[in-house]
Structure 1
Amino acid sequence: MSVNRETVQELIDALGGKENIHTATHCVTRLRLVLNDEGKVDSDRLNGIDLVRGSFSTNGQYQVVIGQGTVDEVYKVMVDITGIGESSKEDVKSAAEQNLNPLQRAVKVLADIFIPILPAIVTAGLLMGLNNVLTGPGIFYDEKSIVDVHAQWKDFADIINLIANTAFVFLPALIGWSAVKRFGGSPLLGIVLGLMLVHPGLLNAWDYGKALEEGNIPVWDLFGLSIEKVGYQGQVLPVLVAAYVLATIEKYLNKKIPDAFKLLIVAPVTLLITGFLAFIAIGPVTFTIGNVITDGLVGIFDNFAALGGIIYGGFYSLLVITGMHHTFLAVDLQLISSTGGTFLWPMLALSNIAQGSAALTMMWLTNDEKVKGLSITSAISAYLGITEPAMFGVNIRFKYPFIAAMISSAIAGLILTVNKVKATSIGVGGVPGFLSIQQGSWGAFFIGMVIVLFLPIILTFAYGKLKKQ
């Protein structure tokens, strides 16, 4: 699609004029803007422009979906017209943070930490799902697995399991790298910190409960102070807090130590202090906090399963709008580590599918060719776990598809929680999500999947036809 100055000028005007654009950059498909006043945006006019495939506001940024390739041309013309100068993504993020309240900033920090490591976690989840198919009894044979019947596949499945488990076994290293980088420290030290917390010389966190019962937890005797030699495999909070401490100490030392001595002093002292603090205070305290949070969530869903499923399943898509859904990735990982599975992630997967089905329905209800095309492509994206195009480009724009998806997802969430459906890993949050579900829960999960595949279509179509009468 050709880009002319008139069209870009119209886009700028719909955004409130060039005076309303504080900072601008772009990614592969979207313009990422920080506006002085988002209230000045004429969203109907903006979404009516041929170039625009959707728009939404998140984390202090106003994002306009343009499309791959075209967005580069639009951005260049916008920079030329407005004279704002080209900005990096970091410039936009920094400017956007000024528009956030403390809660939004905290959510954004977690998002900045977990989004970079998400591909590794999702890939591991998919591979673990494949391993479950190969090793799970009763899927293809009565009370036997594929590897039981076909022994030649056993080592193949074992290698897949090793590859898949790596991301979860060394999760603190992934989080350490991303968190220290986000907090302004050296990512390499973050990796070392994470690996230090899962060192083979420590008692494996997954064996802690058994060791506690037997009374044989190994300890360090630090001048009369008894410190448990326990690792933090699969844990989230210990490495997050330790990463913040490490980055803070490193930045302080970098300011105080002369350049000639930095290599000899900064990294060793930073790791030494953080390491001692991690094992003496940070680890034990955050490990306890993590267990309290986990026990609290499990208790709520055990005692109020139906209500919890309706609320989380129905309102998860609202969390996506605010960006707060990123915080629950840490909760999912904590649940998997502590209990062997998460009951939250399956509802996420079905919520994504519901949004896709609702968006797909608009293909039959609208006469706008642009919306028809967007509804198809965004639905496919949602079925594969990426809901933003469907939600912001179609469903929220027409409102009733979004509500239909929420209702359907709430009903499916109720079914999942009543049947205690859990995911053993975090995979693709859409149709392929069944691979991450515990084998015994596949039946209930597929019932929920059928609901979110078809009920949003029925509700959206029925209301859309009624609305036109």
Structure 2
Amino acid sequence: MNERETAQALLPLIGGPGNICRMSHCATRLRLVVRDEAKVDHDAIRALDLVKGSFSTAGQVQIIIGQGTVNQVHDAMQPLVGDLTVSSLDEVKQQAAAQQNAAQRLARTLSNIFVPIIPVIVASGLLMGTLGMLRSLGWADGNSPLFQILDIFSSTAFVFLPILIAFSAARDFRVSPYLAVALAGIMIHPALQNAWTLGGGVHEYWDLFGLKVAKVGYQGTVLPILLAVWMMGFVERAVRRIMPNAIDLIFTPFLTLLIAGAVSLTVVGPIGRMLGDGLSFGLQWIYLHGGPLAGLVFGGLYSTIVITGVHHSFHALEAGLLANPSIGVNFLLPIWSMANIAQGGAALAVFFITRDEKIRQVALPAALSCLLGITEAAIFGVNLRFFWPFVAAALGGAVAGSWVVATHVGMTGIGLTGIPGLAIVRPDGMLNYLIGGCIAFGLAFAGTWLAHLKVKAPYGEASGA
């Protein structure tokens, strides 16, 4: 079956051209937004020769075809579905987001905001971890000029985190990015008490029309600036609606910044700080008092949360942990990492067990990608498809998650799991991180194999795949 024949065969299995709202493709997958997912026959789609997997996630139907080939299948389908349904990948993502529920849309928004700033946080976290290791081993003098300069480099992303978040959030909250950055600058202005000194109490207050306002900055915070930029979007749009065009360029930014800045310092900022601290300290309390049980639960459930897409919102929580001077470590990411590694172990077991060549073609690269922190192909293309590998991976993630919590493994950044995550693991937790990864991978692999022996049929045959 060639690319054109595959495109013709796919169309009725997706529900026909009338069921397709948007269609595009990425490097390896055909991505579609459909009106009724019940009309999509994933089992029949997977049976096609060129298709390596098919699943639905985040409001999209994603059909794994492979690099190069997917372009040809997409081009062959284009005249069959009509030009109105063929869109850019960004348009497909926007259409898919419109079909998600409130929790999924919130998670997607937070993901859109935090994913672009992950590289700079990873870079800062990697440098921070390296400096910490050099100091703890006595290989560097913490008072030396060079060390102090590098320490400034490592902490800048966290000190000025509100500016990074504001610029990234401006697009999703439909506000001028430069106004958003100016608002963040107001909230971390040097004239305000540095947020890192709040442990000693608030030093000064303003008496504003009888209202006592703390003269406190929001350096290194997450939730206050998110809420402030979100609020600013409403202010800017409201001002622009009533502002005459002749003076819009001058007075809309002026009034927007004036109103949003005042509300942020007096209302939104304090509320955001309380909510952010409540979330961070609540998670820390669970971590400290739940101990290995917390890791067991979080590690076991994480992959199930990935299916819903809500896991994208965890970046905000992790950034809050790192930015909070009373915590300063990401103790959640090692748990998520164990769950991801476990999915790879289960997928690799399926690769060795199954006799279905198409499943093998998906299972091996999917297993390897889990070790690099990318689990969707393994979860949707292999493990969840046969159920028991997914259960075995959840078990591996739970036990390994319990291990990294019990041994206090922490990370100095966000966004990296699996093997790349080694770059941001704190030096004192490196060995236990590796042990946890072996536990996760090994238990998931063994559990998948034992489940295969129990049902007495190779994965991919008993299911009719």
Query: Fold-level match, TM-score > 0.5?
Result: yes
CA displacement 1:415-455 (0-9 Å, x = unmatched): 22233333232251112323433333334333312201322
Against the structure 1 CA distance between its residues 230 and 54, is the aligned structure 2 distance closer, same or farther, given a 3 Å change threshold? farther
How far the C-alpha of 1:273 sits from its partner, in A, is 0.9
Counterparts of 1:125 and 1:259, CA distance in 2: 46
**Which position in structure 2 is the counterpart of 1:457?**
445
The equivalent position to 1:365 in structure 2, one of 350, 353, 371, is: 353
Query: TM-score, normalization: structure 2?
Result: 0.90
**Which position in structure 1 is the counterpart of 2:235?**
249
The range that moved more, 286-295 or 107-116, is 107-116
Counterparts of 2:99 and 2:106, CA distance in 1: 13
Q: Which residue identity does 1:202 align to in structure 2?
A: L
The range that moved more, 273-282 or 17-26, is 17-26
Q: Which residue identity does 1:249 align to in structure 2?
A: V
How far the C-alpha of 1:351 sits from its partner, in A, is 1.1
Matched residue SS, 2:22: strand
**Which position in structure 2 is the counterpart of 1:83?**
82
How far the C-alpha of 1:314 sits from its partner, in A, is 0.5
CA displacement 1:25-61 (0-9 Å, x = unmatched): 2333332211111111111121222333333322322
Matched residue SS, 1:234: coil
Counterparts of 2:42 and 2:131, CA distance in 1: 46
Q: Write out aligned runs for 1:53-64 (5 A).
A: 53-64=52-63
Matched residue SS, 2:21: strand
Q: Write out aligned runs for 1:319-398 (5 A).
A: 319-338=305-324, 339-398=327-386
Q: Write out aligned runs for 1:109-188 (5 A).
A: 109-137=109-137, 144=138, 146-147=139-140, 161-188=151-178
**Which position in structure 1 is the counterpart of 2:220?**
234
| Structure 2 residue 14 is the aligned partner of structure 1 residue 15 | yes
Matched residue SS, 1:147: coil
Matched residue SS, 1:245: helix
Counterparts of 2:149 and 2:454, CA distance in 1: 55
Matched residue SS, 1:116: helix
Contact 1:136 1:439 in 2 (8 A): no
The equivalent position to 2:249 in structure 1, one of 263, 266, 272, is: 263
The range that moved more, 336-345 or 268-277, is 336-345
Against the structure 1 CA distance between its residues 155 and 398, is the aligned structure 2 distance closer, same or farther, given a 3 Å change threshold? farther
How far the C-alpha of 1:8 sits from its partner, in A, is 0.8
Counterparts of 2:290 and 2:257, CA distance in 1: 44
Matched residue SS, 1:325: helix
Against the structure 1 CA distance between its residues 354 and 228, is the aligned structure 2 distance closer, same or farther, given a 3 Å change threshold? same
Against the structure 1 CA distance between its residues 68 and 263, is the aligned structure 2 distance closer, same or farther, given a 3 Å change threshold? farther
The range that moved more, 292-301 or 278-287, is 292-301
Contact 2:33 2:92 in 1 (8 A): yes
Contact 1:135 1:157 in 2 (8 A): no
Contact 1:181 1:190 in 2 (8 A): no
| Structure 2 residue 297 is the aligned partner of structure 1 residue 311 | yes
CA displacement 1:271-296 (0-9 Å, x = unmatched): 11111111111111111122222222
Q: Which residue identity does 1:300 align to in structure 2?
A: I
Q: Which residue identity does 1:62 align to in structure 2?
A: V
Contact 1:351 1:452 in 2 (8 A): yes
How far the C-alpha of 1:110 sits from its partner, in A, is 2.0
Against the structure 1 CA distance between its residues 363 and 94, is the aligned structure 2 distance closer, same or farther, given a 3 Å change threshold? closer
Q: Which residue identity does 1:168 align to in structure 2?
A: F
Q: Which residue identity does 1:330 align to in structure 2?
A: A
Matched residue SS, 2:140: helix
Matched residue SS, 1:321: helix
Contact 2:339 2:393 in 1 (8 A): yes
Against the structure 1 CA distance between its residues 444 and 94, is the aligned structure 2 distance closer, same or farther, given a 3 Å change threshold? closer
Matched residue SS, 2:408: coil
**Which position in structure 2 is the counterpart of 1:38?**
37
The range that moved more, 387-396 or 44-53, is 44-53
CA displacement 1:216-260 (0-9 Å, x = unmatched): 623334344332222212211101111111111112222322333
Matched residue SS, 2:33: strand
How far the C-alpha of 1:194 sits from its partner, in A, is 2.4
Against the structure 1 CA distance between its residues 230 and 379, is the aligned structure 2 distance closer, same or farther, given a 3 Å change threshold? same
Contact 1:124 1:427 in 2 (8 A): no
Counterparts of 2:360 and 2:284, CA distance in 1: 42
CA displacement 1:61-100 (0-9 Å, x = unmatched): 2222333333333222222111152223453344334432
Matched residue SS, 2:24: strand
| Structure 2 residue 191 is the aligned partner of structure 1 residue 205 | no
| Structure 2 residue 203 is the aligned partner of structure 1 residue 217 | yes
**Which position in structure 2 is the counterpart of 1:282?**
268
Counterparts of 2:352 and 2:109, CA distance in 1: 40
Counterparts of 2:315 and 2:226, CA distance in 1: 13
Contact 2:52 2:361 in 1 (8 A): no
Q: Which residue identity does 1:199 align to in structure 2?
A: H
Counterparts of 2:47 and 2:154, CA distance in 1: 45
CA displacement 1:143-202 (0-9 Å, x = unmatched): x3x335xx9xx7776555444433222221121112221011112222222233223332
The range that moved more, 285-294 or 302-311, is 302-311
Matched residue SS, 1:226: strand
Counterparts of 2:75 and 2:247, CA distance in 1: 45
Off by >4 Å, runs of 4+ in structure 1: 154-161
Q: Which residue identity does 2:87 align to in structure 1?
A: S
Contact 1:3 1:70 in 2 (8 A): no
Counterparts of 1:248 and 1:24, CA distance in 2: 32
| Structure 2 residue 389 is the aligned partner of structure 1 residue 401 | yes
- The answer for unaligned runs of 5 or more in structure 2 is 458-465
Query: TM-score, normalization: structure 1?
Result: 0.89
Contact 1:246 1:274 in 2 (8 A): yes
**Which position in structure 2 is the counterpart of 1:141?**
none
Q: What is the CA RMSD across the aligned residues, in angstroms?
A: 2.5
Counterparts of 1:75 and 1:161, CA distance in 2: 50
Contact 2:103 2:310 in 1 (8 A): no
